Amino acid sequence: MITKQNRLLFFPYFIWVGLFVLVPIGLLIYQSFIGLDGGFTVANFVTYFTSTTYLTMTIQSFIYAFIITLITLCISYPTAYFLTQTKRKDLWMLLLILPTWINVLLKAYAFIGLLSQQGSVNTFFDWIGVGRQQLLFTNASFLLVATYIEIPFMLLPIYNAIEEINPSVVQASRDLGANTWETFRNVIFPLSLSGVRSGIQVVFIPSLSLFMLTRLIGGNRVITLGTAIEQHFLVTQNWGMGSTIGIVLIVLMIIIMAGTAGRKKGVRR
C-alpha cells in the first residue's frame, strides 16, 4: 500500500530519475534533430540510415559486441557454476571481483605493457622460439581485453541466480532419480536463466559503444559506434549527429531489453 509517507520516500528517486535519466534523454532527442546550421531537421537520421559508413559501423559494432558477449558467457557460466560448488565462495568471489576495483584505463595500459613488441608475452614467445608477433592493434587483442574487462559483470548475476536456487529443488531432482547432468539441464540451467539474461544485457549494451579500448588496444583499427559519437562530440562539434547515433543506440538497447525480457515468460511456464 502506498501511504503518504511512502510517497515522500520515493521523492528523491523521482528527482534523480528525472534529472539524470529523463532530461538527458529528452535533450539527446532534441539535439538529434538539430542540423549543422542550428536549424530543425531530420537530416541527421537520413544521413545515418543512408550512409554506408555508419551502417557498416553499426553492423561491425554488433558483431564485436556479440562475440564479446558470447565469449564472456562461455567463460562466466561454468565459472559461476563451479564457484557455487566451492567451499570458500566469498574468497573466490572476492578474487574475481577485485579487478573491477581497478580503473579500466589502468587495466588497458597494463595490457599494452603485456602485448606490445617488447612486452612480456612477446618476450615469452621469443624465448620459446616462436618469435615476436604483432599482438597489439589486432582484433584478437581487442576482443581479449574487452572480454577480460566484461567478465565480472557477466559472472556476478549468473552466480547470484545459481546461488539463489533453493537446494531442496536440486535434492528433489536427485531423489526422483535424475543424474547430475539431467539435474543441471532440467533444473539448474532453466532457473539460472534470469542471471544469464541480466548478464547479457549488462555486457552486450556497453560493448556496442566501447571507444577507449578501440583506440588504446585496437589502435583505431576496430571502429565501434562509440568512436563515431566521441568524434562528433569532441572533434567536429556536430552534436546533432552525435546525438542521432546515441538515439539509435538507445533504441537498439530497448529492443535488446525487450527481446531478452520476452523470453522470460516462456521459461517460467
Partner 1 sequence: MKSLIRLGLAIVGITGLLYLSSLFIERSQGAAGADTLNIFNWGDYIDPELLEQFEEETGYRLVYETFDSNESMYTKVQQGGTAYDLTIPSEYMIERMIEEDLVLPMDHSKIEGLENIDPEFLDLSFDPNNQYSIPYFWGTLGIVYNDKMVNEDEISSWSDLWDPRFREDILFIDGAREVIGIGLQTQGYSLNSKNDEELQASFDLLKGLAPNAKALVADEIKMYMIQEEAPVAVTFSGEAADMMWENESLHYILPKEGSNLWFDNMVIPKTSQNVEAAYAFINFMLRPEVAAQNADYIGYSTPNEAAMALLPEETTEDEQFYPSEETIERLEVYEDLGPIYIEKYNDLFLEFKMLR
Residue 97's nearest CA partner among 79, 115, 121, 110 is 79
- Closest to partner 1 by CB, 145 vs 191, is 145
Enter the C-alpha cell of residue 136. Answer: 597489439
- Is 118 a binding residue for partner 1 by CB under 8 A? The answer is yes
When binding is defined by CB under 8 A, the residue of 136, 151, 229, 252 that contacts partner 1 is 136
Applying CB under 8 A, what is the total number of residues that bind partner 1?
A: 32
Q: Measured on CA atoms in the order 196, 143, 115, 101, is the torsion positive or negative?
A: negative
Place of cell 557454476: 81
Long-range contacts at 170-177 (CB < 8 A, ≥ 24 apart) = none
Stretch that binds partner 1, among 22-30, 77-85, 88-96, 150-158 (CB under 8 A): 88-96
Is there a contact between 104 and 149 (Cβ–Cβ < 8 Å)? yes
Is there a contact between 197 and 217 (Cβ–Cβ < 8 Å)? no
Stretch that binds partner 1, among 5-13, 132-140, 204-212, 260-268 (CB under 8 A): 132-140
Q: Among residue numbers 164 through 203, which ones bind partner 1 (CB under 8 A)?
A: none
Q: Among residue numbers 204 through 263, which ones bind partner 1 (CB under 8 A)?
A: 215-216, 218-221, 223, 227-228, 231-232, 234-238, 241
- Is 90 a binding residue for partner 1 by CB under 8 A? The answer is yes
- Is 141 a binding residue for partner 1 by CB under 8 A? The answer is no
What secondary structure, in 3-state letters, does 198-216 show?
A: HHHHHHHHHHHCCCHHHHH
- Contact residues for partner 1, defined by CB under 8 A: 36, 53, 56-57, 60, 90-91, 94, 112, 116-118, 134, 136-137, 215-216, 218-221, 223, 227-228, 231-232, 234-238, 241
